[in-house]
A and B are shown apart, each in its own frame.
Chain A
Amino acid sequence: MSLLIKAEHISHQFAQTEVLNNVSLEIHSGEIVTLIGPNGAGKSTLLKILLNLLQPTAGKVTRRSDLNIGFMPQKIQIDPTFPMTVGNFLNLGRPKRNNDTNGWKRFFNFSAHDTTEIQEVIDELNIRHLLNQPIQKVSGGQMQRILLARALIREPNLLVLDEPVQGVDLQGQTELYHYINELRKRRNLGILMVSHDLHIVMRNTDQVLCLNQHLCCSGTPQTVSQTPEFIAIFGQAGNELALYEHHHDHDQCDMAHGHHHAHSTSDKE
């Protein structure tokens, strides 16, 4: 587990409004980190800072020298006047290599996506039948798979996914998360995922960071879901989450017991 990216004491302000306050985090290879938080918690700002799209007001981000980020944006609006097939879109995501093709073809993007790696991703994500379609015509779920494929084409060592299952049906969500988890194991990828939907993602996550301007809690899904801060922000979601836990740890039992005890005392009076 080598360190890919490390953020230390990040704070950020827009105009006079504080958006992030003293946030620190680390992502290692082979690790899935999920960033959760309500709307306006500063999730996208933190993401932009990590992606080097934005300089934080204070704090420092250190990146491993060979860090190669595959980024999957939340959504992507493509003007209907832009003639772009899915295949062409994926092709444009290939990293520039000077020895890629010879001569003038190197300048435009005529070269076909032919490396086996890319073909593999296309098949695994089941988007081969879409390659010749205009990208404006694909459905939300298909678009998410295409965006993930594009992020993977760069053969990244860190995958940054902004709300990856947005617009994907429940069945598709499970499949997508399963695939991402497979990737992590197979390619030893570090994965940072942003989500405000906690229900499925958390099972495979190594670390959950709960953001609300500052990091209010962090840890494994099991521990985070039990912290008072988490429950204060996500309320009922915390309870639903417990459905995915087959085994309860001692902390939770203690808390439940304590609560019950207090309740029964008040009953007696």
Chain B
Amino acid sequence: MDWFPDFLLFALFGGLGIAIISAPLGVFMVWQRQSYFGATLAHSALLGVSMGLFLEMDLSFSVILFALIIAFGIHQLSQKTQLSSDTLLGILAHSSLALGLALLSLQNTVQIDIMGYLFGDILSVTSTDLMLISMVGLITLVFYLFHWRDLLNITLNPELAQVEGVHVKAIQLQYVLLLALMIALSMKIVGVLLVTSLLIIPAAAARRFAQTPEAMLLYSMILGIVSVVLGLGTSMTWDIPTGPAIVLVATALFLLMLIKKAPN
């Protein structure tokens, strides 16, 4: 495959990995109306980059570490505070993004491509990234194999689920941490500003065709994969940034799905 350069292969595999991981996380984000939570997490992930540079750590590692810390913090905070979670998340999302950007600009020793973090730079995916994505994919698979039913029951009604013996808080925290991992890894693919769309749009597009949660998961995964493949193709053909191209393809697919009549 001489005509197909390595970096494109990395980009393709990275994108496919993220598309597959985001499907199970995305459907629950849609069902539980948590998209704003995901957006906040994504916005604050940029802090990981700034802190990594500041502390002179490996950037992939610091992004993952800070995403996990921030996810844990927001999760705890949203359970304790009186402030409406909508408002709280709005404040956190933008203040952390602002802080991340401010800290980045203070690092005058290194020149850093902020655009790459905001909108993704899929061509910079390395073999380390691919390994990390595979690992998170594996963790996600194991988590969902054991807790799919539990997550469905929590989505239906957390109190009922808890009375029925589901460890609601522990499972929700695990879900949120998994989400943080996925967001940290997808920064290179679509960037912090577009991550949530990869989680939500395929899931939303899959809704009308699905009669069961499992079917919606499957369709959402397929739509995510198609978006990544077509997005990469579009990006190459017309020379548009890959992140926006993937999101635009996903949106186009979503609009296409709207043509189908809603199931009764």
**Chain A: CB-nearest residue to B166:** A96
User: In the bound complex, do residue B163 and residue A137 qualify as a contact, i.e. CB atoms below 8 Å apart?
Assistant: no
User: B160: nearest residue on chain A (CB-CB)?
Assistant: A73
Out of A83, A92, A110, name the residue touching B153 (CB < 8 Å).
A92
A134: chain B residues at CB < 8 Å are: 263-264
* B: number of interface residues (CB 8 Å): 31
- Give which listed residue, B31, B204, B215, contacts A82 with CB less than 8 A: B31
Which A residues are CB-close (under 8 A) to B203?
81
Q: Are B146 and A81 touching (Cβ within 8 A)?
A: no
Known A53-B162, A93-B164, A107-B146; judge A83-B215 contact (CB<8 A). Answer: yes
A81, B31: Cβ atoms closer than 8 Å: yes
Residues in B167-217 with C-beta less than 8 Å from chain A: 203-204, 207, 210-216
**Is A183 close to B, CB under 8 A?**
no
A73 vs B163: C-alpha distance when bound (angstroms): 10
B159 adjacent to chain A (CB < 8 Å): yes
Residues from chain B with Cβ under 8 Å of A107 in the complex: 145-146, 148
Query: Which residues from A are CB-within-8-Å of B156?
Result: 76, 78, 82, 84, 89, 92
Q: Are B148 and A53 in contact (CB under 8 A)?
A: no
Chain B positions within 8 Å of A95 at CB level: 164-165
Quick check: is B30 within 8 A (CB to CB) of the other chain?
Answer: yes
Report chain B residues within 8 Å CB of A83.
207, 210-213, 215-216
| Shortest CB distance A27–B (Å) | 15
In the bound complex, do residue B210 and residue A69 qualify as a contact, i.e. CB atoms below 8 Å apart? no
Q: Mark A23-65, 1 if CB is under 8 A from B, else 0.
A: 0000000000000000000000000100111000000000000
Q: How far does the alpha carbon of A154 sit from the alpha carbon of B212 in the complex, in Å?
A: 22
A109: contacting residue among B145, B149, B210, B216, CB under 8 A: B149
The minimal Cβ–Cβ distance linking B81 to chain A, given in whole angstroms, is 13
Q: How large is the interface on A (under 10, 10 to 19, 20 to 34, 35 or more residues)?
A: 20 to 34
Cβ of A88 under 8 Å from chain B = yes
**Cβ of A89: which chain B residues have Cβ within 8 Å of it?**
156
Given contacts A83-B210, A83-B211, A89-B156, contact A109 B32 (CB under 8 A): no
Contact A154 B149 (CB under 8 A): no
**CA gap between A107 and B152 in the complex, in Å:** 12
**Chain A residues, CB < 8 A from B164:** 71, 93, 95, 154
B160, A137: Cβ atoms closer than 8 Å = no
CB pair A82–B155 under 8 Å, yes or no, is: yes
B126 → A minimal CB distance (Å) = 33
Contact A73 B157 (CB under 8 A): yes
B33 proximal to A (CB < 8 A): yes
CB distance from B148 to the nearest CB of A (A): 6
| A269 touches B (CB below 8 Å) | no
Cα distance A134–B262 in the bound complex, in angstroms: 12
Chain B residue contacts of A110, Cβ below 8 A: 214
Smallest CB-CB separation from B31: which chain A residue? A82
A214 to B118 Cα, complex, angstroms: 57
| A85 on the B face (CB < 8 A) | yes
User: Does A249 sit at the interface, judged by CB under 8 A?
Assistant: no
Chain A residues lying within 8 Å of B148, measured Cβ to Cβ, are 107-109
Docked CA distance A109–B151 (Å) = 12
A154 to B165, CA, bound (A): 11
Contact B216 A51 (CB under 8 A): no
Expressed in whole angstroms, the Cα–Cα distance for A173 and B216 within the complex equals 37
Contact yes or no, A84 B160, CB < 8 A: no
Q: A114 within 8 Å of B by Cβ?
A: no
Q: Which of B33, B165, B215 has the most CB of A within 10 A?
A: B165
Q: Any chain B CB within 8 A of the CB of A254? A: no
Given known contacts A83-B210, A107-B148, A109-B148, A69 and B163 CB-to-CB distance under 8 angstroms: yes
Least distance between A58 CB and chain B CB atoms (Å): 22
Interchain residue pairs A-B with the least CB separation, the first 5: A71-B163, A82-B31, A83-B210, A107-B145, A76-B157
Q: Which residues of B contact A (CB under 8 A)?
A: 30-33, 145-146, 148-149, 152-153, 155-157, 159-160, 162-165, 203-204, 207, 210-216, 263-264
Beyond A69-B163, A73-B160, A79-B155: 10 further Cβ-contacts under 8 Å? A48-B159, A53-B159, A53-B162, A76-B160, A78-B156, A83-B213, A84-B156, A107-B146, A108-B148, A160-B163
29 examples of A-B residue contacts, CB within 8 angstroms: A51-B159, A51-B162, A52-B163, A53-B162, A53-B163, A69-B163, A71-B160, A71-B164, A73-B157, A73-B159, A76-B157, A79-B32, A79-B33, A81-B207, A82-B213, A83-B212, A84-B213, A85-B211, A92-B152, A93-B153, A93-B164, A96-B149, A96-B165, A107-B145, A107-B148, A109-B149, A137-B264, A154-B164, A160-B163
